């Protein structure tokens, strides 16, 4: 993707609310590196503007007349792939569900609409646009809704033989799994968790960076997409097999020495709470070689420090590969620190987890 002159990011803003649209326009006018080259009122405008103006990023509301953000995302990703940032002023279940469906269809992220004096949210939107302008996007000739719903019991052939032998030695020891994800994560989680049976034999803890207020909606949405049980983590919950514990808004997710959930408000990592570093560090301390850490698609380096600690504690660390990542940031950082046992595609990650399931089936 090529930006405008002198590195300026050309954007299109689409929102049926005149008040919200003007607030966004005023926000971007104050940024010298961002230029608004078009505005619209509904999803049909968004599609037309993208095809005509070829912006670097599209910022659009999820709930719009004539064509909503989901359908507009589908058309844009089929006809003129462009980084899409969704904005919403609502956390009601219908809008949350619509937002996650749009993420599956190719939108990169969803952010909250800012209030007039909401400086933090305003700054977050501007920074998000800057980051998303550099993300390469691909054609989606069909939407991904439902594309990954059928369980992928086995990975493709082709794992490195040496690693295959290593897995046979290590997988029987694993007692808990931690997963970290950011940009592109909801879709990746559907693929990974959707490939697992309802009675998966281990607990899974997940840190997903998501707009505040959306964690509960993500858990609800994931339950409609996968067979395994997904819930927000609750302080003191005892880890159970076949359960996925998702980090709640504004809390770090960890495990305690008693094998229970421990939620904390400790310092944010580079503005992130939850941070995957806290999860992986606790797994390293409590479980060591009996823990597996999986680092999925995402921007930045969250999780790298914790994955390094887990790796040093002889835990098993796997990172998603560049080809299947929406953003190859977090997995790359883990790889660069030599804290990963293997870099795998999403399909291979599902295969590895299902081998754990097979091990437990044989034992029983």
Q: Active-site residues: which are they?
A: 182, 209, 302
Tell whether the torsion through CA atoms of 186, 192, 198 and 202 is positive or negative.
negative
CA dist 272 and 250 (Å) reads 8
**Residue in 321, 317, 257, 259 with CA at minimum distance from that of residue 292:** 317
CA dist 256 and 203 (Å) reads 14
- What are the Cα distances from residue 44, in Å, to 130, 216, 298? 25, 30, 30
**Residue in 142, 124, 156 with CA at minimum distance from that of residue 59:** 124
Alpha helices in 133-245 (DSSP H): 161-170, 185-194, 215-225
Asked if residue 274 has a cis previous peptide bond (ω within 30° of 0), the answer is yes
Give one DSSP letter per residue of 69-136, joined into a string: HHHHHHHHHHHS---EEEEES--SHHHHHHHHHHHHHT--EEEEPPPTT-HHHHHHHHHHHHHHTT--
């Amino acid at each position: 993707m090529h930006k405008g002159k002198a590195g300026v990011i050309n954007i299109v803003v689409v929102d049926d609310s005149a008040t919200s649209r003007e607030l966004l326009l005023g926000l971007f006018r104050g940024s010298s590196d961002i230029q608004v080259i078009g505005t619209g009122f509904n999803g049909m405008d968004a599609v037309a503007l993208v095809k005509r103006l070829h912006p670097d990023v599209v910022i659009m509301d999820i709930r719009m007349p004539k064509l909503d953000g989901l359908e507009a995302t589908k058309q844009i990703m089929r006809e003129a792939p462009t980084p899409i940032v969704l904005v919403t002023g609502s956390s009601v279940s219908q809008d949350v569900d619509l937002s996650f469906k749009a993420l599956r269809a190719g939108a990169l992220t969803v952010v909250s609409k800012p209030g007039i004096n909401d400086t933090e949210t305003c700054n977050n939107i501007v920074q998000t646009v800057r980051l998303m302008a550099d993300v390469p996007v691909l054609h989606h000739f069909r939407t991904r809704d439902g594309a990954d719903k059928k369980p992928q019991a086995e990975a493709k052939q082709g794992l490195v033989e040496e690693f295959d032998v290593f897995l046979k030695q290590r997988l029987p020891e694993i007692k808990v799994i931690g997963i970290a994800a950011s940009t592109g994560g909801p879709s990746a989680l559907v693929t990974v968790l959707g490939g697992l049976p309802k009675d998966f034999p281990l607990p899974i803890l997940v840190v997903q960076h998501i707009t505040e207020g959306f964690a509960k909606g993500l858990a609800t949405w994931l339950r409609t997409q996968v067979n395994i049980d997904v819930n927000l983590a609750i302080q003191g919950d005892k880890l159970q097999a076949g359960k996925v514990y998702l980090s709640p808004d504004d809390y770090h997710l960890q495990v305690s020495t008693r094998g229970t959930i421990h939620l904390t408000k400790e310092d944010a990592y580079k503005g992130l709470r939850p941070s995957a570093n806290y999860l992986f560090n606790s797994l390293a301390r409590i479980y060591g070689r009996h823990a597996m850490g999986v680092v999925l698609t995402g921007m930045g380096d969250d999780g790298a420090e914790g994955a390094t600690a887990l790796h040093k504690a002889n835990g098993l660390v796997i990172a998603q590969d560049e080809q299947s990542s929406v953003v190859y940031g977090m997995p790359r950082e883990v790889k660069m620190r030599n804290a990963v046992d293997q870099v795998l595609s999403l399909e291979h990650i599902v295969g590895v987890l299902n081998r754990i399931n097979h091990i437990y089936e044989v034992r029983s």
